[in-house]
Structure 1
């Protein structure tokens, strides 16, 4: 919270370390005095200019990777919304008053996101510590010891970068396999009687963030009824995708024979108890009866479905919420509730990636969802699904998976 009377712009300019602010397009917004002094640049040479126009790679060094490494770090921060500390980098700087003359410099950068009210990254804090003096002698020509230290530090930094790159590639391969597995185990979009259902799945950005979100839609025995469910497994990668497939299949089978959604979740909870990795998974399931115009639902720690009534009212189905699966040492019967709907209503089930944002109360996300649903309530389910995702997910993608299923009633 801002304190009255403090000039934060002056504080920023006086910070003892090198600090600059960048837009998501990597254009300088501001730089403090220490940054300008140590980089040998004036404010006019930096502010409102693209980062790598101000500090390009040394064209005389074919092995220079400073711009590539720094750009990769900044892109990771934009994609994940999390800070990224880099290994020491050799990043030569052209002398401002001597064009064509490059000084060999070493830097240790840290890049930190600044989030806006909607959770999107609106600025990047680029803090740099010059470490050239750590690998050079402090005065006079460099001696053998200094040259050895310089070479060793640079070699270790390159080895660390190469290791990080190999890990990134390995995680990317794991992510591809997990996504393929997840896609194979999720049901395809299809017609439900004469009513259209739209489903969407958006994987998280970043190699490490493939999670276990899932959805399901089944025809129920007896009457004109369907079961619609979504769930979320704690964890990432192949293990989460495998657990997701087991829970989805188990709930799909249980829903076909259960008397109601609470009983289906009771069965799923017992099953989750013997599945490694299913602890604290969440799920919500709804039994929709088109003949009687009712929705009976039960939730195991999952965000509530949204029912958009034909009269424009949004009702969150939150009257039968219980702890996540396998959360109790001795399971007890789960609650369920029933609500009614009129022809033309729409029910929306989703996972938390759609509404939850860092450092934001969940009610804010629910309000954002309700507003988006009302703005597009007259659209068909396919258009509605695309519109909601476009409005609620960050432009660069979310750091958590998102599954959405929409059924016109």
Structure 2
């Protein structure tokens, strides 16, 4: 049987558990038959309506917070694009036959995002495990002891959920500190010897997967030359920010005395070997000579820089690519290549968050980047940087952080 012969609508309706689809605004887009049967609602009462108009909290019982907890979970999934498994919840569900009468139910929900090719959340999958009858059966058969166990189960579930909330709070605080450290180490603008340079850093949305990306511009010794680099550290949060700062500082110092970008990366690779967390970091560095109109470059496992010429032709600087830092047990000299440019050309370095998409070949992202750069090549670097980010990053925010640096040559 091929995908084309599978009736996925029938599969959805025939799922043995309660499953509903919600829009990011928490409006029911669909619900399977089991969901409607177990919740005591018809399709007309559910589809197209806001979830908490269908299932409000019990106004007569302040302890009935299941719906409020569910709303928090669903909005978090919509904002972050990350799955959320909730602890067992007690819900008071209003009877449709007798409005004002509430029935105590026990549901265990799992909420997961459905993403489009750009990583934007387009639907929420809301799956519910119904355990009300199990708890009632235990209550009838076990008497007082079962009621005690039931209460203990519910209490432990609530404690787990509270612990989950505290962990999320700690996650958010660490993310805030890491971003502050990142901002302090990465300047928001850069003028080097009168050259036009635009820099951007965009953290991942709703995730701790931030602070591993970095960029740098350094004035080189001898002539009208600059070094331009970007890198990406494996990891996230404060640890990645710390490693990023060490590698960036080391490359800045090394570039000032190195004969070329390959030698700078050779030295950086040896340094990365003694820095915990620096293994498998990627970086590309370019040395731009404005007097000779040349660019020399070397890459340690990083996506290639892009050179856009004034006539709109594009060259990917991909002829000197080597494995990431500290990837080899024994260091070897890294390759180096070069190219020439005409005044008015544009050099662009970036990290993979700008071009990568789930379930998509990276070449498609490179084509998108080149197309955007060519169409906006006559704008100044600041406007060009904004246009590229607007066109290439998902509308709801990326799941990986992104660094971008643009130099008008």
Residue in 1 that maps onto 2:341: 341
Alpha-carbon offset, residue 169 of structure 1: 1.4
Taking structure 1 as reference, are residues 176 and 4 closer, same or farther at Cα in structure 2, changes over 3 Å only? Answer: closer
Contact residue 136 and residue 146 of structure 1 kept, 8 A: no
Matching residue of 1:351? 351
Contact 1:351–1:403, Cα closer than 8 Å, also in 2: yes
CA shift, 1:74, in A, is 2.5
Q: Which residue of 1 aligns with 2:252?
A: 252
- Aligned-partner Cα distance in 2 for 1:393–1:65: 37
> What aligned pairs does 1:134-153 form with structure 2 within 5 A after superposition?
134-137=134-137, 143-153=143-153
SS of the residue 2:126 aligns to: strand
Shift of 1:72: 2.9
Q: Quote the Cα distance in structure 2 between the aligned partners of 1:36 and 1:260.
A: 68
User: What secondary structure, in the 3-state scheme, does the structure 1 residue paired with 2:150 have?
Assistant: helix
Change (3 A) 1:277 1:383: same
Distance 1:291 1:238 in 2: 40
CA distance in 1, matches of 2:26, 2:72: 12
Unaligned runs of 5+ in 1: none
Counterpart of 1:133 in structure 2 is 133
In the aligned structure 2, how far is the partner of 1:276 from the partner of 1:388?
34
Alignment of 1:36-75 (within 5 A): 36-75=36-75
Alignment of 1:34-113 (within 5 A): 34-113=34-113
The secondary structure found in structure 2 opposite 1:200 is: strand
CA offset at residue 270 of structure 1?
Answer: 0.6
User: After the TM superposition, which parts of structure 1 deviate over 6 Å for at least 4 consecutive aligned residues?
Assistant: none
**1:367 is aligned to 2:334:** no
User: Aligned equivalents of 1:335 and 1:293: distance in 2?
Assistant: 21
Q: Give a deviation string over 1:345-392, Cα, whole Å, max 9, x none.
A: 111111111111222221122122222222322222111111221222
Q: Matched residue of 1:189: which SS?
A: coil
Number of the residue aligned with 1:197: 197
Which structure 2 residues correspond to residues 3-402 of structure 1 after superposition, within 5 A?
3-137=3-137, 143-402=143-402
> SS in structure 1 opposite 2:198?
strand
Offset, 1:138: 6.2
Give distance in 2, aligned partners of 1:2 and 1:408.
51
User: Any idea what the Cα deviations from partners look like across 1:34-89, whole Å, max 9, x if unmatched?
Assistant: 01111111111111112222222221221333233223322333344332221111
Q: In the alignment, is the contact (CA less than 8 A) between 1:262 and 1:333 conserved in 2? A: yes
Aligned length: 409
Secondary structure of 1:407 counterpart: strand
State the TM-score, normalized to the length of structure 2.
Answer: 0.95
Question: How far apart are 1:246 and its partner, in Å?
Answer: 0.5
Whole-Å separation in 1 of the counterparts to 2:97 and 2:301: 63
Equivalent-residue separation in structure 2 for 1:195 and 1:53 (angstroms): 58
Instruction: Report if aligned partners of 2:138, 2:146 keep a CA contact under 8 Å in 1.
Output: no
1:212 positional shift: 1.5
Q: Once the 2 structures are TM-superposed, how far is the Cα of residue 13 of structure 1 from its aligned partner? A: 1.1
Contact 2:86 2:109 in 1 (8 A): yes
Closer/same/farther in 2, CA of residues 325 and 195 from structure 1, 3 Å limit: same
Q: What is the Cα deviation at residue 337 of structure 1?
A: 1.0
The whole-number CA distance in structure 1 between the counterparts of 2:390 and 2:145 is: 57
1:93-114 CA distance string (max 9 Å, x none): 1111221111111111112222
**Cα distance in 2 between the residues matched to 1:177 and 1:11:** 45
Secondary structure, in 3 states, of the residue corresponding to 1:324? coil
Secondary structure of the residue aligned to 1:137 is helix
Distance 1:360 1:78 in 2: 22
Contact 2:234-2:277 at 8 Å conserved across structures? yes
User: Aligned in 2, Cα 1:2/1:349: closer, same or farther, shift over 3 Å?
Assistant: farther
Distance apart, 1:141 and its partner CA: 9.2
Unaligned runs of 5+ in 2: none
> 2:117, 2:358 within 8 Å by CA — same for their partners in 1?
no
CA RMSD between the two structures: 1.9
1:397: how far off? 2.0
- In the alignment, is the contact (CA less than 8 A) between 1:350 and 1:405 conserved in 2? yes
Give secondary structure in 2 for the equivalent of 1:187.
coil
